[in-house]
Structures are given as structure tokens and as C-alpha cells.
A = this chain, B = another copy of it.
């Protein structure tokens, strides 16, 4: 697959505490969409229950920036909507619900083809970032519905843990995030995991990844100690590892 085409922006979250929807990422989203001359976005609202309400919120945010938005749930043929899309925005919510819908509507392969082979820009936020990776095995969400598989779009060869949280040594509520990721890495074949802190983004262009935002990211590779990478780091090695 010609991964040189890849144009992906993955957000850890849609809201940084106390600010408006997507506000913190305004510059990064606009720079990304303008670079690829996008004027119309196909929104995927499946991670939440009320598709209309969710689509209105997202349309409001993107229209303010000058983009048109169609929500895939208003289309009679979701596969066709994917095939005609100029860019994707896959919103956050429950990752299990989102992935199950991608399977139910049979749009896993169509989205994958458009992003990897045709260079259609993909923006994901939270759950929408999780489904862009190898699998949803490192989501923080509750498994409220049962998807047929945890294998996701595989637009990149590693996983993300969005809203990554450091351990707070004064309280201990079940396993820490780091312990949970280590448990995952005992599963044979599990890929690296990027712990993406609130307000961080990954910008993937072909075979290059940049860590955007103000926070460092914590990267977990099976059999290695976790490593911190500063904001602005080139993380392209994650694409070459596999």
C-alpha cells in the first residue's frame, strides 16, 4: 500500500477542560485542511448516540472556519458517502460503539482505501483517533457494545492511548494507565502504544509523524522501558518499526 499518500491528524481529545469544542486545535486543524485544499468534510458521528445533535455541534464548529459538513448518518448509502468524501472527521465518544458501527455499515475497508491509497485527509478525535490505529485495545472507554473484532482501520501501525494520564502517587485506583498498557504488551504481537496527553495531536504525512501541541508523549514499546518525547518531536520511527 502506498503509505506516502497518508494525511492524518489525530487529536487526543475534542475539548480541553474549560474551552469550547475543538477550540484548542483550531490552528492545527485549519492548517491541515487548508494545506490539502479541503472545503467539505464528511463527519462520522457514530461514537455518540444522538447523531443529529452531534452533527449540529460539529457542523457549527467547522462552518465557523469556512468548511461545509455532511454527516454520514444522513446519507442513504454510507459506503457511497465514504467513496465521495473530500475529507473525514471522525468524532469522539465511545470507541466500542464507533468501531461496531464502522463494521455494521461496512465502511472499514472503504475508509482505509480512501485514506491510504487516495490521500483523503482524515481527522480523528479521541475515539476517532483510536479507530485510526491498529486496534482499539488501548481505549479508556467502557465496552458498552460488542464489536465483532477490536481490529480497527490500521491507518498507522501502532496504537494510541488518548487522554493519557500519569500516575498520581497519592491515590491509587485500580491499575495505573502505564500498568494497563504493560498488560496489553504481554499479548504476543501487540504494537507500540503512544500515550497521547490531553491537548496533543499527531500529524502524519506519508511516512512522517510530528507530535503537535504543548505536551510530551509517552511511548510504550513491547519489551522496552517507556520513553518520553518532547512536543514537536519527529516520531516517524513508529511508522518504520513494523
Which of B136, B163, B175, B183 touches A173 (beta carbons < 8 Å)? B163
Please give, as numbers and ranges, the residues of chain B lying within 8 Å of A149 by CB-CB distance: 146
Alpha-carbon separation in the docked complex, A183 to B150 (Å): 19
Q: A15's contact among B13, B93, B171, B172, by CB below 8 Å, is which?
A: B172
Beta-carbon contact of A187 and B146 below 8 Å: no
- B143 A150 Cβ-Cβ under 8 A: yes
Tell me whether A68 is interfacial, beta carbon within 8 Å. no
Partner of A198, one of B48, B141, B144, B173: B173
A146 partner residues in chain B, CB cutoff 8 A? 149-150
Are B180 and A142 interface neighbours, CB within 8 A?
yes
Question: How many copies of this chain?
Answer: 2
* A181-B142 in contact (CB<8A): yes
What is the distance, in angstroms, from A203's C-beta to the closest C-beta of chain B?
21
Instruction: Decide if A174 is an interface residue (CB 8 Å cutoff).
Output: yes
Chain B's nearest CB lies how many Å from the CB of A118?
30
Bound-state Cα–Cα, A126 to B173, Å: 11
- A237 on interface, CB distance cutoff 8 Å: no
Min CB–CB distance A177 → chain B (angstroms): 9
* In the complex, per-residue mask of A118-148: 1 if CB is within 8 Å of any chain B CB, else 0: 0000000010000000001111111111100
Residues on A lying within 8 angstroms of B by beta carbon are 13, 15-18, 48-49, 92-94, 96-97, 126, 136-146, 149-150, 162-163, 165, 170-175, 180-181, 183-184, 186-187, 190, 198
